Amino acid sequence: MSCDLTPEAVEQAVIKAKKAGIQHLTREKGFILKREGSNQVAVLLPSVMPTGLSSQELTKMELDTRRQVLYYVEAFRRYLKGMEQCELTMSGPSIGFRETRRIKGKSMIKAEDVLNRKKCEDGVARGGWKPEIHKDTDKMATYMDVKEGSWFDIALGALQSDNIGNLYAAGRMISADETAF
């Protein structure tokens, strides 16, 4: 039996599951990717909004998202065609954060830099993904369109602390506004 993993089918399955009383389903829309040549799928639906970063809060979020996973499996078994016999074989090793603290850099990557695919002379890295705005656990992200071009520059100043000498950051800690991040 073939699976219908379209975003619409997944959304309808989750809506039906919620109406039937299945709890802990935080989002109706998210990513479900089927591995080519396999019966394995990867699902990105469980979600929490952090209210703190203490060990107690992190543990609470870990437990909450792992509970959500079990309820999504149940929802898919009941309401997603072709997933009647699905099994959970793996979940993420730990909760992932889209955004945490960032440095105040000598320069800042701004939304317009990303959207316009800005190039700069002191570019030390490249970014290529369009902005995703994640504001609500029960809604899909908003994806912003960008102008033509495959990448934008990440300036050295966005990695370099503005007020602490010889301190650099990379990855999710660079100096960027919320949309550019």
User: Region 17-24: what's the mean pLDDT?
Assistant: 96
Confidence of residue 100 (pLDDT cuts 50, 70, 90): confident
Q: Can you list the positions of beta strands (E) in the chain?
A: 31-34, 41-44, 123-127, 132-133, 142-143, 152-155
User: Region 7-36: what's the mean pLDDT?
Assistant: 87
pLDDT score for 50:
80
pLDDT score for 35:
73
pLDDT score for 146:
67
Q: What percentage of the chain reaches a pLDDT higher than 90?
A: 36
Please say if the pLDDT value at position 32 is more than 80: no
More confident site: 141 or 95? 95
More confident site: 131 or 78? 78
pLDDT score for 16:
96
User: Region 140-144: what's the mean pLDDT?
Assistant: 66
pLDDT score for 30:
73
Closest by Cα among 157, 90, 172, 75 to 123:
157
More confident site: 26 or 104? 104
Most distant CA atoms of the chain, gap in Å: 61
pLDDT score for 168:
95
Instruction: List Cα–Cα distances, 171 to 37, 48, 59, 81, 159, in angstroms.
Output: 33, 21, 24, 39, 9
Q: Which two tokens mark 164?
A: 């602490």
Closest by Cα among 35, 8, 12 to 25:
12
pLDDT tens track for 143-179? 666 666 678 899 999 999 999 999 999 888 899 988 8
Confidence of residue 94 (pLDDT cuts 50, 70, 90): confident
